[in-house]
Amino acid sequence: MQSGEVKVAEDSDFKRFIELCVETEGWKQEYNKRNTSVHTKINDVSDFKMFKIKTTYTDVSAEVLYDVLHDPEYRKVWDHSMVEGYEICCINPNNDIGYYSMKCRPFKFVILTLHSWLDMGAQYCIINHSVNHQKALPKKGYIRGVSYLTGYLVRKMEGNKCQFTYVSQSDPKGKLPAWAVNKVTQIMAPKVITRIHKACLSYQKWKSTHNPNFKPWLNPEQMTLPRLNMADIKPLSEFNSRESLDDESCMKESDIGENDISDEDSSD
């Protein structure tokens, strides 16, 4: 699927994403410590490089990680970068459109995505790309980024372990100075992995007292979102915000802290 396209994700869409997760050709290693690697790759879609993070959690099951990545109420607990997040509508129980805004000093970002997920038995896959919806217009002071293809691959391993891969091909709109790119790959990306890991370790206790049986990402009959009205879908170009990263003069290295990065792709 292409950015702006709204339809049910097909097997070929998930296959394409998984290929990005496992391929090595053209990817440059930027970081490799404590079982976590970060790679980047030049692409012909955006001036921003594709970004891939891979790690193995030795004390978290694939099932728990998959729940944490999906659960919108729990995200409010662990994702300290999030300003606001909610689902707007669904195409079917495995494809919905959601809104996510985050802070990354001195900027604020918004991303609106169609996000799709698939339980493949030995692995779980969640993918998203940007769309435009009438009920989520640009906000003043927020940069509206574009996700061409972003997602998670969670692979089951023996015991209470799982392999976790995050890939993003996106454009936050504008230019980032070299020091900011380096900080993302060397510091922020590994800290995202740590933050998600900590969230996983606390999830089951939290979920036991917060609607424990409600998991619509696993139980389609629990999906309560309104159905998509295609009349609400607009071209990506129609709602372009005027905000961008181009004013580098307002960016200072000291401004960006350890919490100033999203832990997600505009998933729930």
Q: What is the pLDDT of residue 17?
A: 97
Q: What is the pLDDT of residue 174?
A: 57
DSSP 45: S
CA quadruple 187, 190, 194, 196: dihedral sign:
positive
Q: What is the pLDDT of residue 41?
A: 93
How far is the C-alpha of 98 from the C-alpha of 150, rounded, in Å?
14
Q: What is the pLDDT of residue 268?
A: 40
Strands 107-119, 95-104: pairing is: antiparallel
Q: What is the pLDDT of residue 100?
A: 93
How far is the C-alpha of 145 from the C-alpha of 240, rounded, in Å?
9
Q: What is the pLDDT of residue 258?
A: 47
Q: How far is CA 44 from the centre of its chain?
A: 21
Tell me the pLDDT tens digit for each residue of 142-170: 888 889 999 999 999 999 999 999 999 88
Q: What is the largest CA-CA distance in the chain?
A: 50
From the list 138, 140, 176, the residue with the least C-alpha distance to 46 is 176
How far is the C-alpha of 136 from the C-alpha of 132, rounded, in Å?
8
User: Which residue intervals of the chain are DSSP H helices?
Assistant: 11-22, 62-70, 72-78, 178-183, 189-207
Contacts 24+ apart (CB under 8 A), 117-124: 117/70, 117/217, 118/9, 118/14, 118/94, 119/218, 120/14, 122/155, 122/156, 123/62, 123/153, 123/154, 123/155, 123/156, 124/62, 124/66, 124/152, 124/153, 124/154
Token representation of residue 119 = 């339980």
41 touches 52 (CB < 8 A): yes
- Mean pLDDT per segment of 10 residues, for the chain of length 268 residues? 91 96 95 92 86 96 98 95 94 96 80 96 97 86 88 97 95 61 65 94 98 96 96 80 50 50 40
